[in-house]
Amino acid sequence: AQTVTQSQPEMSVQEAETVTLSCTYDTSESDYYLFWYKQPPSRQMILVIRQEAYKQQNATENRFSVNFQKAAKSFSLKISDSQLGDAAMYFCAYRSENTGTASKLTFGTGTRLQVTL
């Protein structure tokens, strides 16, 4: 079974600064997807960014980018120019490409990000 580990329960960043959230995962599969989701106090799950494992190029979405190291099974999220609205719980997630798993997501334990003035 796949596991997703987020070793930072809490992180803090000053507004306008850059912060990196860590995520590692364990899998024996070669084809999969990785995601970062944001869960603000409203509890709504919001997709931040996704990465296909077969792509070497790191995904970017505006201020959000990832550092995907497939061999190291590492998938960190970098948030640049942090804003107060970025404060939330961030979950790293794994999705197998194995059709037998119905593409279900396995989530990490989450990192709570605080953004200070």
Which stretch in 22-30, 40-48, 53-61, 72-80 sits in contact with other proteins by CB under 8 A?
40-48
The pair of structure tokens assigned to 94 is 């794994």
Which stretch in 18-26, 58-66, 69-77, 103-111 sits in contact with other proteins by CB under 8 A?
103-111
> Residue 29 and residue 2: Cα distance in Å, rounded?
9
Beta carbon nearer to other proteins, 45 or 73:
45
The pair of structure tokens assigned to 62 is 């505006």
The residues facing 80 across adjacent strands are none
Number of H helices, E strands in the chain: 0, 12
Residue choice 12, 47, 54, 55 for contact with other proteins (CB under 8 A): 47
Cβ contact 9:109 at 8 Å? yes
Beta carbon nearer to other proteins, 42 or 57:
42
Amino acid at 98: N
Q: Which residues contact 45 (CB under 8 A, 6 or more apart)?
A: 37, 38, 39, 91
42 belongs to the binding site for other proteins (CB under 8 A)? yes
Give the shortest CB-77-to-other proteins separation in angstroms. Answer: 16
Residue choice 3, 12, 60, 103 for contact with other proteins (CB under 8 A): 103
Residue choice 8, 11, 27, 45 for contact with other proteins (CB under 8 A): 45
Residues near other proteins (CB under 8 A): 42-45, 47, 91, 99, 102-110
